Structure 1
Amino acid sequence: MKLRSAAFGLACAAIAVSSSAASMEAAPWAKAVATEQKMKPAERATLTLGIMAVPYGAVVNLPAGALYGAGFIPGIPRLGVPALTETDASLGVAYASGFRKDGGATPLPSGVALGATWDPDLVRRGGAMIGGEARAKGFNVMLAGGVNLMRDPRNGRTFEYIGEDPLHSGILAGALITGVQSNHIISTIKHFALNGQETGRHFLNSRISDAAARESDLLAFQIAIENGQPGAVMCGYNKVNGAQACGNEYLLNKVLKTDWRYKGFVMSDWGAVNAIDFALKGLDQQSGVQLDPKPFFGADLQSLAATDPLYRARLADMNRRILYAIYANRLDAFPVKPGGLIDKAANARVAEQVARESIVLLRNHDGVLPLAKSAKRIAVIGGYADTGILSGGGSSQVHLEGGASAVVSHGGLSPFASLLTEQYLRALPPLDAIRAMAPDAQVTFRSGDYIGEAVEQARNADIVIVFANQWQTEGIDLPDLTLPRGQDALIEAVAAANPKTIVVLQTGSAVAMPWLERTAAVIEAWYPGGRGGQAIASVLFGDVNPSGRLPITFPASLNQLPRPKLDGSDSVEPNFLGLGTPGQTLTVDYDIEGSDVGYRWNARKNFTSLFPLGFGLSFTSFEYSDFKTDGVRATFTVRNSGKRAGATVAQVYLTRRPDGKKERLVAFQKVELAAGERRLVTVPIERRVIADWANSKWNVRPGAYAFALGENAEKLGPTQTVRLPTSSWAP
């Protein structure tokens, strides 16, 4: 009875919040309608067309008010409508090859590292930090909010995205967007949708059923949009079930604008528009027009709207949606201007805190970590650990002042070749951070280019720390999950020479670890951002108790993936634009796994991964007890049973439904506890994760549902079974 009363109270509160949100939403929409009605015919296409504002391969004469950055859309001064100045991306204000000469920006750790924190509040702080820097530099649109699910760890943009689970990704992406937009600027969410690989990205066709899409990738977007209320949605390059994502009636008009009642606008990705009728199919703004065949949404759209009532009505709606996003985020009331003050020290502390909480301890044999600061001889090997911090490539590249500390070319002479270089942040190198932590130790460094030299150093050391890197970039997928440039062989040889070998991985995705059992410890540091060196050292020496948990599954082999061979890998030439040859096609069948992405696929196939979703070790220990659930919420007790403070991520999974075995993450909570402390935790269960999508609505079948509390997707406690009645609801 108490549970039912609480549920009723929550429902009443939700209605009140919903009503309040609706009234707040009405004001900017009414203002958008009023402004649109005042537009002159010559002004009506202004907000629908944007340029790419960086001179990659072409001379760009920036219009007044434009900045070197991702894009620019002129405003309408007569009506007080500001211009839109756009910058990439989810990890900070993109460097744009240094064209702005504005001192760089603070790089957050990669998107998958944000996912590894499992901490919405921290991610929100990170979003607020990068959004604040965007505003200070004169940008009022940030192309952030990457939430595509990791369907294949070889995807070159895995590092930009949050993870593989729709609930986890949606909650954290929504938090990032909320943080960015707290600065009175617009954040996008991207890339809508099913944009799962870079190989053939401009022409591949993602094939998937409506139900599977709604229960996986689209659910991630839906949750993130509900939580973050992004001003704009960026559609992807790929096709979905035969139609280009930016001209996809189903995705844009049916799902986004009708079912989800989204009021903001849809902008194209740069070079993703090839017809004017994309406007009728739901696209509101053509971006980076230089990369498209022509400016479809400029004079042509204006002329067509003058004679065709259908296009006239659509153009009015396009303007209202863009204006709504401007007014909802108060861009007009809080105009941006370059040259704002940035507290670089405070922002660096935010980036470091994210890095500290994102690092995942994967192995710690015999408690070799944390290292004693009294260690006498430490050999550091490989990974440019003496130079800087690895970062991901492409449009999301962020740099501190001075640009890269090292650049490794991956070839090519195209105008975009500069975006396809492996770059290291000009930050405190991990080697220097380690030396600062152990000032009395003899710390040597070898590049690892020559295995014999590295082995010799390892034999003469008490502790060996090998840094191993996997670089990822937009535009190119990984061929497999091995470490490039012979690093697996390097680790094997060093670990054979010294069993106290610790591996620090700077990767954008999962990697194979054939050497795992011969190492003493392994930590996954991802691309740890502008203060990554300090964060890594703080975990190695125990100033920080690692609390990161994997947001993606590390498969035991490629044969565990739904597609062991990456589609198109033998027929599509890797390049940044991914254009392929004229007429080339590529279909990726996501109905193989459907909504069973990552750990869900493993559960379905009874696979045991190398490391599952949610995995991560600590320097302390935790106990879980008293798990109870009514299918609406779950309660349990967490106790820190170790000798030092730490944090864990409690995870609640659905394990069975009336139709059989079905594993789904339904709730999670990061919990920080002092040594010996215990806490009662209550978490709400996301009912859409329990349900099926059928007949254009969510449906819960009547019958028994089993739930379990776990440390990760493959280590679950005893199940609790509850019977749920039939129910259904609109999207």
Structure 2
Amino acid sequence: MMTRGTRSLLNVLLRSAVLVGVIGVSPALAQTTNNAPAAAAAKTDAPVARPWMDTSLDPSVRADLILREMTLDEKLQLTFGYFSTDAAWLKTPTKNWEFPKDGLPGSAGIVPGIARLGIPSQWQTDAGVGVASQRSATPRLRTSLPSGILTAATWNPALAEAGGAMIGNEAFLSGFNVQLAGGMNLLREPRNGRNFEYGGEDPLLAGVMTGHAIKGIQSEHVVSTMKHYAFNGQETNRFTIDHRIGEQAARQSDLLAFQIANEIGQPGSVMCSYNRVNGHYACENDWLLNTVLKKDWGFKGYVMSDWGAAHSTTEAANAGLDQQSGWAFDRSPYFSEALREAVNNGHVSTARADDMARRVLWGMFSVGAFDTPVRGDRATTIDYAAHAAVTRSDAEEGIVLLKNDANLLPLAKTAKSILLIGAHADVGVLSGGGSSQVYSPNAPTSGLIVPDEFNKGFPGPKTYHASSPMTALQARTGARVTYLDGKDPRAAAAAARKADIVIVFGEQWTGESIDVPDLALPDAQNALIDAVARANRKTVVVLETGGPVVMPWLSKVGAVIEAWYPGTAGGEAIARILTGEVNPSGRLPATFPASLSQLPRPVLEGDPKLDRDAHPMGNYDIEGAAIGYKWFDKTGRKPLFPFGYGLSYTRFALGGLKADAKGKGIAATFAVRNTGSVAGKTVAQVYVAAPGWEAPKRLGAFKKVDLAPGASQSVATMIDPRLLATFDTATATWTIAEGDYQVMLADSAVSIAQTVTVHLPAQTLDSRGK
């Protein structure tokens, strides 16, 4: 349930939207100098009636109405998109590339509209946590949400939706109506450089949280993608690696996450990924696109390729790809003249060409992109103060307290000196790198408050948001707060001995296109933390990481906070948690392993030295659907920190669990009580278990609860029948076996408070779980 505070923030956000204006869409792009498509041929220059502008009609009906008026060239124009940045940035084999007419500088791209029919251009922005900018001398400055994995750590769907609405609003007011958001690949590989963009390791949690984020974005008349479909679990050899996985395991893991997000968010578009799946590229994979997505799930929107993920014309179109995006990252403009020829000679049917255009139009109609159009860059209307409150609330609920010996936190008001060490905590907080990079609205025009320490091009620059933990702490404590960069461990240890409390900020910068070599903090930070902790037991470690890390110094420090990448108000959020102004309530959305040896793949698959045409293999059948906590349950291995784990400054009691069969699922009720002395939030988790599954138990439901001291609340949850079933690949159905099912009320994947048994009859559900 949305809290009063969250509802207020969302209302402020929605009131701030300026949804006005009528667009005059430019004609199609003129032919560029090499292999670009010609302008669409119009039937006539005379005005045409536009019955498709009747907003009372269903988007499918509206799409069919406009489709009847379109020439073949106009239909195909909707299937081809251009990259929209300067040629100096572009480093591909493509020659004679030109900046597209009407494209927004530094953006992801444009698909030209058709003025004759009132079809808006599709102005696309990279996204995930906000309106991203391609690297340039003067990047677009916008509000950044915390990383996706932090939002997942809130376990609060209302916050995810409010955050989505916020970044969708900024996209709309910046002239964009397509946002390349909705990242949700499951965390199979903790070293994956893009884990920070995604929703953790569990299909229910990732699907629910990402689905609500998509729903929020699209409430602002902006199409959101859902990506990267599918099994894009690492960056090493991401263009060519072939992930092999059986269908049952696939349906019960990554695909279930996408399916849940699709049902909640109803995305206008799905972005197919770079990698191969079971021998076929994801963007020309008939099973993934036609069978699973469009047939079994009934997806009505369009499939766009990732930038550089298209590999063919006829094969891709017939396999379900509806739009080639981001030319000129691909080797050829496959959906330009080649697609027109393929349709004309019958290799791609006219019915399929109609379907491709119809799906694009449906996606635009479904979010109101025709009815409330964007125009240009109107950033002066963005309410940055209101948006800062949204992103800060997100960060505060997703920061996870991992350790707190002797109640070291919240910081004692009697402390007279606090020493901060490392990670530029004097000026800002870290963000993840790559195409999702957002630059702070309060940063210099370059977007950088710290000189680029990566300095190797993409996925840099390594960027910090201008939200200083040091400044925020100085405003909240009576202590003298000082800072050291930590480059000299001996000097840091000497200074630590003189301080009442030491806070070491440990960072792990990750980004698109690169995976981390291991789970250790880089650049000798573990040695620094060890030296400081030996000098002062009252050492707090604040981790700014893209995912799980190991902590060889854990026993020596007094407290540990996982702050992830906390966004453009992250410094304030960290300070409010440290001082107790906010009670931490984040819970881990991913298991933290104790070592690489505990993983299904201790050595990362794929040789990073292979060229683009290589065909490395990835074996996801090792763990199948037993990802994360399920793998640890199955193998009996003890993690450093389990899935669902997190501490608070107060205490909670769970009990009174009752569960009964209801419909085709299970209804579970229970009570949560705050037994401590301060207000706080907790996440009650319900797991289910039955014989013959991929692992001993699955997450079945969860609820975030906000309670005053001594207060209690009754909670009712419903367990989706697909989480009680196995997928039958022969019949494409979900089957629930007759028998006894264990329903467990828990504080984490390893902390079970109560268990009850429910007997279920044998049942069969269709591919959509109905």
- Shared fold (TM-score, shorter chain, > 0.5): yes
- Superposed, which structure 2 residues align to 1:241-390 within 5 Å? 241-276=278-313, 277-308=315-346, 310-337=348-375, 338-340=377-379, 341-390=381-430
What is residue 109 of structure 1 aligned with on the other side? 146
Deviation sequence 1:61-84 (CA, Å, 0-9, x none): 231254430010001111111100
SS at match of 1:189: coil
Contact 2:317 2:348 in 1 (8 A): no
642, 656, 667: which is aligned to 2:676?
642
Asked if residue 713 in structure 1 is aligned to residue 749 in structure 2, the reply is yes
Contact 2:452 2:460 in 1 (8 A): no
What is residue 156 of structure 1 aligned with on the other side? 193
Contact 1:89 1:395 in 2 (8 A): yes
Asked if residue 653 in structure 1 is aligned to residue 693 in structure 2, the reply is no
Deviation sequence 1:446-501 (CA, Å, 0-9, x none): 10000011001100011000000011100000110000000000000000000000
Deviation sequence 1:165-197 (CA, Å, 0-9, x none): 000000000000000000011000000001100
Asked if residue 42 in structure 1 is aligned to residue 79 in structure 2, the reply is no
Q: Displacement of 1:372 after TM fit?
A: 2.1
Q: Displacement of 1:590 after TM fit?
A: 0.5
Asked if residue 53 in structure 1 is aligned to residue 84 in structure 2, the reply is yes
Distance in structure 2 (CA, Å) of the matches to 1:658 and 1:190: 31
What is residue 588 of structure 1 aligned with on the other side? 618
What is residue 13 of structure 2 aligned with on the other side? none
Q: 1:432 and 1:66, CA in 2 relative to 1: closer, same or farther beyond 3 A?
A: closer
Distance in structure 2 (CA, Å) of the matches to 1:443 and 1:542: 17
Contact 1:44 1:302 in 2 (8 A): no
What is residue 398 of structure 1 aligned with on the other side? 438
Contact 2:653 2:672 in 1 (8 A): yes
What is residue 30 of structure 1 aligned with on the other side? 61
Contact 1:658 1:704 in 2 (8 A): no
Q: 1:311 and 1:25, CA in 2 relative to 1: closer, same or farther beyond 3 A?
A: farther
SS at match of 2:669: strand
Identity %: 48
Distance in structure 2 (CA, Å) of the matches to 1:325 and 1:174: 16
Q: Which amino acid aligns with 2:452?
A: V
Contact 2:655 2:753 in 1 (8 A): no
Q: 1:667 and 1:525, CA in 2 relative to 1: closer, same or farther beyond 3 A?
A: same
Contact 1:237 1:246 in 2 (8 A): yes
Asked if residue 727 in structure 1 is aligned to residue 763 in structure 2, the reply is yes
Q: Displacement of 1:572 after TM fit?
A: 1.3
What is residue 692 of structure 1 aligned with on the other side? 726
Deviation sequence 1:648-686 (CA, Å, 0-9, x none): 000000133366962100000000000000111001111
Distance in structure 2 (CA, Å) of the matches to 1:523 and 1:449: 21
- Superposed, which structure 2 residues align to 1:393-432 within 5 Å? 393-401=433-441, 402=444, 403-412=447-456, 417-425=457-465, 427-432=466-471
Q: Which amino acid aligns with 2:583?
A: N
TM-score by length of 1: 0.93
Asked if residue 447 in structure 1 is aligned to residue 485 in structure 2, the reply is yes
Distance in structure 1 (CA, Å) of the matches to 2:162 and 2:694: 40
SS at match of 1:644: coil
Q: Displacement of 1:210 after TM fit?
A: 0.3
TM-score by length of 2: 0.88
Deviation sequence 1:508-545 (CA, Å, 0-9, x none): 10000010011000000000000100100101110000
Distance in structure 2 (CA, Å) of the matches to 1:144 and 1:546: 27
Asked if residue 68 in structure 1 is aligned to residue 117 in structure 2, the reply is no
Contact 2:84 2:103 in 1 (8 A): no
Distance in structure 1 (CA, Å) of the matches to 2:124 and 2:522: 34
What is residue 548 of structure 1 aligned with on the other side? 586
Contact 2:683 2:704 in 1 (8 A): yes
Asked if residue 134 in structure 1 is aligned to residue 178 in structure 2, the reply is no
Q: Displacement of 1:328 after TM fit?
A: 1.0
Q: Displacement of 1:25 after TM fit?
A: 11
Distance in structure 2 (CA, Å) of the matches to 1:66 and 1:622: 51
Distance in structure 2 (CA, Å) of the matches to 1:26 and 1:333: 12
SS at match of 1:261: coil
Does 166-175 or 337-346 show the bigger shift?
A: 337-346
Contact 1:45 1:299 in 2 (8 A): no
Q: Which amino acid aligns with 1:356?
A: E
Q: Displacement of 1:422 after TM fit?
A: 1.7
What is residue 547 of structure 2 aligned with on the other side? 509
SS at match of 2:271: strand
Q: 1:299 and 1:583, CA in 2 relative to 1: closer, same or farther beyond 3 A?
A: closer
Q: Displacement of 1:375 after TM fit?
A: 1.4
Aligned residues: 693
Contact 2:625 2:694 in 1 (8 A): no
Distance in structure 1 (CA, Å) of the matches to 2:204 and 2:225: 19
What is residue 674 of structure 1 aligned with on the other side? 708
Deviation sequence 1:601-622 (CA, Å, 0-9, x none): 1111111111111100000000
Distance in structure 1 (CA, Å) of the matches to 2:187 and 2:270: 19
Does 453-462 or 39-48 show the bigger shift?
A: 39-48
What is residue 515 of structure 2 aligned with on the other side? 477
Q: Which amino acid aligns with 2:300?
A: K
SS at match of 2:688: strand
Deviation sequence 1:40-59 (CA, Å, 0-9, x none): 23312110000111222366
What is residue 624 of structure 1 aligned with on the other side? 654
Q: Displacement of 1:306 after TM fit?
A: 2.1
Q: Which amino acid aligns with 2:287?
A: Y
Q: Which amino acid aligns with 2:74?
A: E
Q: Which amino acid aligns with 1:679?
A: Q
Q: Which amino acid aligns with 1:618?
A: S
Q: Displacement of 1:582 after TM fit?
A: 4.9
Distance in structure 2 (CA, Å) of the matches to 1:68 and 1:379: 40
Distance in structure 2 (CA, Å) of the matches to 1:372 and 1:112: 30
Distance in structure 2 (CA, Å) of the matches to 1:444 and 1:419: 32
Contact 1:389 1:532 in 2 (8 A): yes
Q: Say which structure is richer in helix.
A: 1
Q: Which amino acid aligns with 2:143?
A: T
Q: Displacement of 1:27 after TM fit?
A: 1.5
Distance in structure 2 (CA, Å) of the matches to 1:99 and 1:361: 38
Contact 1:658 1:702 in 2 (8 A): no
What is residue 46 of structure 2 aligned with on the other side? none
605, 613, 621: which is aligned to 1:567?
605
Q: Which amino acid aligns with 1:709?
A: L
Contact 2:182 2:226 in 1 (8 A): yes
Distance in structure 2 (CA, Å) of the matches to 1:562 and 1:314: 41
Question: Could you say what the CA RMSD is over the residues aligned between the two structures, in angstroms?
Answer: 1.5
Does 522-531 or 630-639 show the bigger shift?
A: 630-639
What is residue 214 of structure 1 aligned with on the other side? 251
Deviation sequence 1:10-41 (CA, Å, 0-9, x none): xxxxxxxxxxxxxx997111111121121123
Q: Which amino acid aligns with 1:685?
A: I
What is residue 51 of structure 2 aligned with on the other side? none
Q: Which amino acid aligns with 2:79?
A: T
SS at match of 1:408: coil
What is residue 176 of structure 1 aligned with on the other side? 213
Contact 1:67 1:85 in 2 (8 A): no
Distance in structure 1 (CA, Å) of the matches to 2:73 and 2:244: 40
Q: 1:434 and 1:582, CA in 2 relative to 1: closer, same or farther beyond 3 A?
A: closer
Distance in structure 2 (CA, Å) of the matches to 1:655 and 1:671: 24
Q: Which amino acid aligns with 2:704?
A: K
SS at match of 2:325: coil
